[in-house]
Structure 1
Amino acid sequence: MYPIQFSVDYPERDLNRATTAFRIIVAIPIMIVLGTVSSAAWQWTHETGTIVATGAGGLLFAGPLLMILFRQKYPRWWFEWNRELLRFTNRVWAYLALMDDRYPSTDDYQAVRLEFEHPDAPNQLNRWLPLIKWFLAIPHYIVLVFLDIAAVVVVIIAWFAILFTKRYPRDLFTFVEGVIRWHNRVIGYAFILVTDRYPPFRLTA
């Protein structure tokens, strides 16, 4: 199996029509919370001036890259920050994709599972490869553009299905899960640098 594993438990129950119908609005508070820990920035311009609000945090890329390059080391607390932030991000995206109607938790894993191990940098990571991983992943970026467009269409179809039947069609659920899984593998390989294994071109586990 690929070292980065992602899955979402399929909801074998009726989903909430009300929160599904207004999911974009209901998700605003948790999206703001996610933005504050993901280095997001907002700017408002008014007649009296400009107000800027910024968050602190985000996935760590440059730090681990330099540590792997010069020390062949991946500090565990940096690794754990990246993994927990990515898990939280996935819970929010799964909620936006209507895959779970429980409000995303900042710490409980809920129905979303993302697993990968802390790498043994001297033995498992090539010290030079992090310099070009982002470039090597370009084919994945291109594929993901088309997959993301398809996923948006699928989520819209699922939205109507849930409103009428209270259920997320399983095939549509599996597709959206696969697209998110693909994103996580590319992020793990090219940006948080936890594996040197090139991500597979597939939606399945």
Structure 2
Amino acid sequence: MKTTYPVTFSVDFPDRDLDRVSTAFRIFAVIPIGIILSLLSGASIRYVTSTNGTNETVTSVATGGGLLFLPLVLMIVFRQKYPRWWFDWNLQLLRFSNRVTAYLGLLDDRYPSTDEEQAVHLDLPYPDARQLNRWLPLVKWLLAIPHYIVLFFLVIGAVVAVIVSWFAILFTGRYPRG
């Protein structure tokens, strides 16, 4: 399929009988790989301890991709470079994240691999950082606010669709079409 979009993403339809037991307990089965994903993708952990109600100790830990975000933005802004190895890391992390999301969303009943493509296909072209507006990363998040509002409602619809699919797989053993 030839497309003019810069991002190509697809998930193979599971046109086979799915494992009902793994579907029933998917929320528990995803915990180990979800921990790995959160450690790699930049999740932050915050611990708050209170001794007598007035003194609080706050400890925050940022992991993985969260630590790699700011240096990349600074490199694009000031040097107009996006190293190929950094792009490859981000692309593989996105692919892994999408495999875990597809597994959690019942689109695949095979446990997500950390290195194989499986049923989720994602491809991005390598960008030329010299063609990017060097100051746009500093304000681009403002332009995303309407997008996040629309995504909020789309996520609600996706959660409802996953719940309906969960029941369909439990009763019929197949993912519903259409």
Q: Please give the range of the TM-score, normalised by the shorter of the 2 chains.
A: 0.7 to 0.9
Q: Which residue, out of 5, 12, 24, partners 1:21?
A: 24
SS of alignment partner, residue 41 of structure 2: coil
What is the CA deviation profile of residues 119-165 of structure 1, one whole-angstrom value per residue up to 9, with x for unaligned ones?
Answer: 11113x12122122111111110000000011101100000001111
Q: How far did 1:43 drift?
A: 4.5
Q: Which residue, out of 160, 164, 176, partners 1:169?
A: 176
- Is 1:104 equivalent to 2:112 in the alignment? yes
- Is 1:158 equivalent to 2:141 in the alignment? no
Q: Match for residue 134 of structure 1?
A: 141
TM-score normalised by structure 1 residue count: 0.74
- Is 1:62 equivalent to 2:66 in the alignment? no
What is the CA deviation profile of residues 70-127 of structure 1, one whole-angstrom value per residue up to 9, with x for unaligned ones?
Answer: 111111111111111111111111000000000000111100111101111113x121
Identity fraction in percent: 64
Task: Identify unmatched segments of 5+ residues in structure 2.
Answer: 52-56
- Which letter does structure 2 place at the counterpart of 1:69? V
- Is 1:5 equivalent to 2:8 in the alignment? yes
Separation of aligned partners in 2, 1:82 and 1:88: 10
Separation of aligned partners in 1, 2:42 and 2:134: 27
Separation of aligned partners in 1, 2:173 and 2:41: 33
Q: How far did 1:56 drift?
A: 2.9
- Is 1:30 equivalent to 2:30 in the alignment? no
Structure 1 residues 164 and 44, CA, compared in 2 at 3 Å: closer, same or farther?
A: farther
TM-score normalised by structure 2 residue count: 0.85
Structure 1 residues 20 and 12, CA, compared in 2 at 3 Å: closer, same or farther?
A: same
Please tell me the root mean square deviation across aligned C-alpha atoms, in Å: 2.2
Q: Is the 8 A contact 1:36 1:54 kept in 2?
A: no
- Is 1:92 equivalent to 2:100 in the alignment? yes
Q: How far did 1:44 drift?
A: 8.9
